[in-house]
Amino acid sequence: MGAADAARVHERDAERLGELLAQQGWIVLTGGRPFGVMEAAMRGAKRVHGSLTIGVLPTADEAPSSFVDVAIRTDLGHGRNNVNVLSSDVVFACGIEGPGTASEVALAIKNGRPVVLVAPAEAASRFFLSLPGAKIRVVPSADEAAAIAVTLLDNR
Amino acid sequence: MGAADAARVHERDAERLGELLAQQGWIVLTGGRPFGVMEAAMRGAKRVHGSLTIGVLPTADEAPSSFVDVAIRTDLGHGRNNVNVLSSDVVFACGIEGPGTASEVALAIKNGRPVVLVAPAEAASRFFLSLPGAKIRVVPSADEAAAIAVTLLDNR
Amino acid sequence: MGAADAARVHERDAERLGELLAQQGWIVLTGGRPFGVMEAAMRGAKRVHGSLTIGVLPTADEAPSSFVDVAIRTDLGHGRNNVNVLSSDVVFACGIEGPGTASEVALAIKNGRPVVLVAPAEAASRFFLSLPGAKIRVVPSADEAAAIAVTLLDNR
Amino acid sequence: MGAADAARVHERDAERLGELLAQQGWIVLTGGRPFGVMEAAMRGAKRVHGSLTIGVLPTADEAPSSFVDVAIRTDLGHGRNNVNVLSSDVVFACGIEGPGTASEVALAIKNGRPVVLVAPAEAASRFFLSLPGAKIRVVPSADEAAAIAVTLLDNR
């Protein structure tokens, strides 16, 4: 998860993370649009042979990122953010630069999904770490995020 | 699409259709639960090497069918029926035995998706064919459904 | 419930039904848009002093009918049809002229809500009456619909 | 908006705010459940003669707070939080004690709705004020919140 108009550092993290997760055999799921962190994560994942990417789109008919293998069209607007996090075993946020990503992190915590914040601003990590019941890890980079991913799997 | 408590004939159609579509390289998407037409279609698809199945679940945490490769968890209740049809290039209904399947066929038409009714009851096909703007084909069996599938692809 | 581009007879039924239900003290809930059966039902209701109308809109920001007292903005597209019927104690369909109304009737049955079909086409009533578990009444006009409304209340 | 298991101070703020807003003729909309800030806000509102309260429930069939005049049943789980904020002209959060309220504040900002944070923790207000494009006011109490409400109305 991350902004559609992300800073370059967060796009780089997302691209690296997408690639590392795909190398470990994870399916990479994003908001599916051809912008920012979503696009970068799936571009990274699709560098890996045999990878699989899922894009959960907010509308009924828009074109997904060209790096999306399977487009799920929800027509839920920002309500699709809840589907994104519910469908994820672990939620990674590359930066929390805007309210869309903030809503996904909040909904992930609310739904009991483990969350990894990758290089968040200090105000963001401080806030989310203050919430009761949050299963959150804060890491400085994509490599650390990928390294701990498997340890965060809940046993659904 | 089809009933969770389907008649055997519709389950057989679904299983055959899932297999035929997967052989043609289609992704098979269903409501994801381990029952009836959903389960049968994905069981058929998973007989094919390299197939991919998507299960769009109504709740946040239930166990999907064991034939689901990717579970999308919506927590939308029956509102997830709209996601099912929006995410499909062609919607196949194996029987229309209950209101859940009826709602999916109606929503598919409303959203402009092509629909194939496989062996529907006469009252069902007569009703849906009467609706204005419906892109509907009625076929007697899974083989006919698979044979015309590719001709129904809209160019989104 | 009913079509946005309804035939005049169904608009007349909706307007009459909205007025009769409001006179009986019911809240009138529709899809909220300024068209067809939705608009007509709420126009009828607002003729009654002290009436209350709710419009459940499919988008985030559109203008509701001027006869809507409370606009609920869902951004769910046609998925809002499930909210319409879940929020209703009794679902009235004035005509079933298109797939949107058909989806609402189907979802109402699926969710166990009582349904009254007012002057439906014969193919529609025959189909919906054939579905198992349907709590459906078919009546020829708004006056009959209003007369039986109170007897259909489930005790939630 | 606010927690179902809120601290007493936030419940008191919510009750006072519900009453003040109803006195000014506002409709008071909450998540509709019989707990915490939701219940308190509507209890306050219903002290005012002629007030109107709307409860947007997450499920299909649960009992709403007894202070709810109109129950909207969404079956959207936490996805109903997007409906809550979209349907509000101004969003008030009494405390941001948990991830549910955090998601509502984030979604309100994402959807361009004006937000008033009433007595938030410092980490929460610092985070949300840091988000770009946020139309947020932070106030210490219900009285200040009600006093500025009308100035925050956007002209939809």
Does position A16 have pLDDT exceeding 80, yes or no?
yes
Average pLDDT for residues D144-156, to the nearest whole number?
84
User: For residues B130 and B108, what is the distance between their CA atoms, to the nearest angstrom?
Assistant: 15
Cβ-defined contact of A72 to B82 (cutoff 8 Å): no
- For C74-127, what is each residue's pLDDT tens digit? 999 999 999 999 999 999 999 999 999 999 999 999 999 999 999 999 999 999
- For D45-54, what is each residue's pLDDT tens digit? 999 999 999 9
User: For residues C65 and C42, what is the distance between their CA atoms, to the nearest angstrom?
Assistant: 8
- Residue D155: pLDDT band (50, 70, 90) is low
Q: How far is CA A79 from CA A84, B71, D15, D73, in A?
A: 9, 18, 28, 16
Average pLDDT in chain B: 96
Identify whether the C-beta of residue C118 lies closer than 8 Å to the C-beta of residue C97.
no
- Residue to mutate among D91, D96, D109, D127, with most A CBs inside 10 A, is D127
> What does the pLDDT read at residue D134?
82
User: For residues B98 and A104, what is the distance between their CA atoms, to the nearest angstrom?
Assistant: 35
Identify whether the C-beta of residue C154 lies closer than 8 Å to the C-beta of residue C89.
yes
Q: Which residues are D53's β-sheet partners?
A: D28
> What does the pLDDT read at residue A155?
55
Helices (H), chain A: 8-23, 36-45, 80-86, 99-110, 122-130, 142-149
Strands B53-57 and A136-139: unpaired
3-state DSSP assignment of residue C101: helix
Average pLDDT for residues C131-155, to the nearest whole number?
90
Q: Which residue of C has its CA nearest to A78?
A: C75
Does position A111 have pLDDT exceeding 60, yes or no?
yes
> What does the pLDDT read at residue D150?
86
Average pLDDT for residues C5-31, to the nearest whole number?
97
Question: In C, which residues are within 8 Å of B79 by CB distance?
Answer: 76, 79, 82-83
> What does the pLDDT read at residue A123?
97
User: For residues A131 and B128, what is the distance between their CA atoms, to the nearest angstrom?
Assistant: 50
Q: Which residue of C has its CA nearest to B120?
A: C127
Identify whether the C-beta of residue B21 lies closer than 8 Å to the C-beta of residue B28.
yes
Chains that touch D (3 or more CB pairs under 8 A): A, B, C
Does position C156 have pLDDT exceeding 60, yes or no?
no
3-state DSSP assignment of residue D70: strand
User: For residues A27 and B68, what is the distance between their CA atoms, to the nearest angstrom?
Assistant: 13
Question: In A, which residues are within 8 Å of C78 by CB distance?
Answer: 75
The set of residues, in sequence order, having a beta carbon less than 8 Å from that of A25 and lying 6+ positions away, is none
> Is the pTM of the predicted complex or chain greater than 0.90?
yes
| Residue with more model confidence, B67 or D154 | B67
Q: Which residue of D has its CA nearest to B78?
A: D75
Nearest by CB to residue B86, choosing from A74, A82, A111, is A74
- Residue C134: pLDDT band (50, 70, 90) is confident
Strands C70-73 and C115-118: unpaired
Q: Which residues are B72's β-sheet partners?
A: B56
**Out of B36-40, B77-81, B152-156, D82-86, which region has the weakest mean confidence (pLDDT)?**
B152-156
Average pLDDT for residues A124-128, to the nearest whole number?
97
| Inter-helix orientation angle C36-45/C8-23, to 10° | 30
C-alpha neighbours within 13 Å on the C-beta side of residue A69? 22
Does position D40 have pLDDT exceeding 60, yes or no?
yes
Average pLDDT for residues C4-28, to the nearest whole number?
97
